[in-house]
Amino acid sequence: MRGVPRRLTRAEARSVRAASGFLLPFLALFLLCFIAPVGYALYESLLKVERTGPLGLGGETKQVWAGLSNYVHALEDDRFTAGFGRVLLFGAVQIPVMIALATGLALLLDAASARWVGFFRTAFFLPYGVPGVIASILWGFLYVPGISPLVEMAHSAGWDVDFLGRGAVLWSIANIVTWQFTGYNMLVLIAQLKAVPGELYEAARIDGASAWQVARHIKLPLIRPALVLTTVFSLIGTLQLFAEPKVLKPLSNSIDSGYTPNLAAYNEAFTSNNQHIAAAEAVLLALVACVLSFGFLRLVGQRGKDGESG
């Protein structure tokens, strides 16, 4: 690199000029919408509001340095930490269930014994077209006693279900998320399955492998990169859980203002008007998301060195 001949520099300069022209619009907005908010959140999270009037009421307010006290406040807030624990529990159960379901459906649709593949694939993927809020409104109606035909049917079968009770509501939310995203994850997995050269299956079949063996020993290892991708995106999505509990909140007493970290930060900012604490909570959320997704990628990266992916 050091001994680059002089005559190359013109081409290089041209290259740099062109590349920066193409990159500039994106980078400018990336700076505004990603880098700046992260910086601003960090800055805000280190400040607090101090009132200077008599008894700390009214009068002038000014922002003063707070150190890490907002973080301490957030982490000592039982509601906030409980919300974190809740989404982690949610992710530990819902993500494996959803990915397993998506994998199962992808393999079934890819199996030689499947029929009406186009119809089924469309049916499974359809809920992805339903936004989270609408899906929550929709399932909310299916959970509420009085409207829900599900509750009615269960009741007439002598089984009283309460989808919105203290123990159940988290899993009712998990059901909404699973309903919405299984089809999408399935489609990503199918895309990867279709990219596998057909001769591989053919060879295995000639060697006498059963459909189950082909799925277990050939297809599953080959869709590993797609499984990693879908899991990481699901993880990030789970930590951001917001629309579902927000929409179901009026229907269930079991959802409080800090039910998920995101809901806590939102209510801190807009209900309690405490943007500094909200900023600290947003930073904590982003931090946990990054640590978990990088941690997961490292974990599978170490175990999956054999594949040619990456």
Partner 1 sequence: MNEANDLAGGAVADQPTGAAAPGQAPETAPSGARPGAGRRRAARGRAGRGGSEPPLRHRIITVSLLTVAAIYFLTPVYWLVVSSTKSSSDLFGTFGFWFHDPHPLDYLHRVLTYDDGIYVRWFANSLMYAGVGALAATLMSAAAGYALAKYRFPGREGIFNVILAGVLIPGTALALPLYLLFSEIGLANTYWAVLIPSVVSPFGVYLCRIYAAAAVPDSLLEAARIDGAGEARIFSTLGLRLMTPALVTVFLFQFVHIWNNFFLPLVMLSDSDLYPIQLGLTSWQGYADRQPELYQYTVGGAFLSVLPLMVLMGVLQRYWRTGLTEGSVKA
Identify residues 181-200 at the interface with partner 1 (CB under 8 A). Answer: 182-183, 187-188, 190-199
In angstroms, the CA 56 to CA 69 distance is 19
What type of residue sits at position 211? A
Q: Does 147 bind partner 1 (CB under 8 A)?
A: yes
In angstroms, the CA 291 to CA 45 distance is 19
Q: Does 209 bind partner 1 (CB under 8 A)?
A: no
In angstroms, the CA 151 to CA 215 distance is 38
Which among 34-42, 47-55, 87-95, 157-165 is the span making contact with partner 1, rule CB under 8 A?
34-42
Q: Interface residues for partner 1 in 215-274 (CB under 8 A)?
A: 225-226, 229, 232, 236, 239-240, 242-243, 246-247, 250, 262, 265-266, 269-270
Q: Interface residues for partner 1 in 39-98 (CB under 8 A)?
A: 40-41, 44
Q: In whole angstroms, how close is the CB of 129 to partner 1 at the nearest point?
A: 4
Q: Which of 128, 161, 218, 304 binds partner 1 (CB under 8 A)?
A: 128
Q: Which of 64, 113, 208, 303 binds partner 1 (CB under 8 A)?
A: 113
Using CB under 8 A, count the residues that bind partner 1. Answer: 117
Nearest Cα to 151, choosing from 241, 251, 242?
251
The CA–CA distances, whole Å, from 102 to 9, 172, 200, 218 equal 52, 19, 23, 17
Q: In whole angstroms, how close is the CB of 77 to partner 1 at the nearest point?
A: 17
Q: Does 280 bind partner 1 (CB under 8 A)?
A: no
In angstroms, the CA 298 to CA 286 distance is 18
DSSP labels for 77-114? -HHHHHHHHHHHHHHHHHHHHHHHHHHHHHHHHHSTT-
Which among 8-16, 50-58, 64-72, 80-88 is the span making contact with partner 1, rule CB under 8 A?
8-16
